[in-house]
Amino acid sequence: MSELEIPEKIAQAQQGDSIALSDLYQRYHAGVYRYLFYRVGDLHAAEDLASEVFVRMIASLEGYRPLNGSFEAWLYQIARNLAIDHLRKMSLRDHRALEEEMVAEQDDVSKTVESRLTSDVLARALRKLNDTQRDVIVLRFVNCLSVVQVAHTLHKSEDSIKSLQRRGLESLRKILKEWEISYV
């Protein structure tokens, strides 16, 4: 689906077209999931929260208006709010994972381990940033949103996003350097 088709798909989905809803889900799910994974740092919680984003999207789609910002920014606002609520709830509990994630036999174990280590290290490093810097870095570099899109999503000016991005990247470099991890 091209950028030009998105408004049409949204209009169709607002009319109850399940295929258009499915197309929107397919287009945005991976990005929303990545954002949530790096925001909450937990694979299973990110999966659950990503599902909830799309449940809320369907429930609220009738009220979505493009004049209020891009559809993608709207989805990330929903994801961000859910992540904040989730993190608040988790801070009140003593939460520990009961089991390690299992690797399917057909998966290439070395690639899976390397990818998981890279994601885990990045997620840990991102948790050292303040919430707003983390949001900017994840939305800009993990989800590849433009400065304008991030500004709409976080309700900040473009200059503010650029400043948060710069400070966030500087902090990440320091963290990774302290951990003696190459960030090339």
Note whether 158 and 151 are within 8 A (CB): yes
The single residue listed with the structure tokens 């009140």 is 92
Note whether 167 and 128 are within 8 A (CB): no
Task: Give dist(CA 182, CA 31) in Å, integer.
Answer: 25
pLDDT on residue 13: 93
Render each residue's pLDDT in the chain as its tens digit; 184 residues: 777 788 999 999 999 999 999 999 999 999 999 999 988 888 899 999 999 999 999 999 988 887 767 899 999 999 999 999 998 888 765 544 434 444 444 445 444 434 444 567 778 888 889 989 999 998 998 888 899 999 988 999 999 999 999 999 999 888 888 877 555 4
User: Which domains, from first to last, does the chain contain?
Assistant: 1-93 (1.10.1740.10), 108-184 (1.10.10.10)
Note whether 168 and 134 are within 8 A (CB): yes
What is the crossing angle of helices 18-40 and 71-91, to 10°? 40
Note whether 56 and 140 are within 8 A (CB): no
Instruction: Name the amino acid, one letter, at 129.
Output: L
Instruction: Name the amino acid, one letter, at 8.
Output: E
Cβ-Cβ contacts under 8 Å for 164 (sequence gap 6 or more): 132, 133, 136, 156
Cα 157 to chain centroid, rounded:
20
How many other C-beta atoms lie within 10 A of the C-beta of residue 52? 16
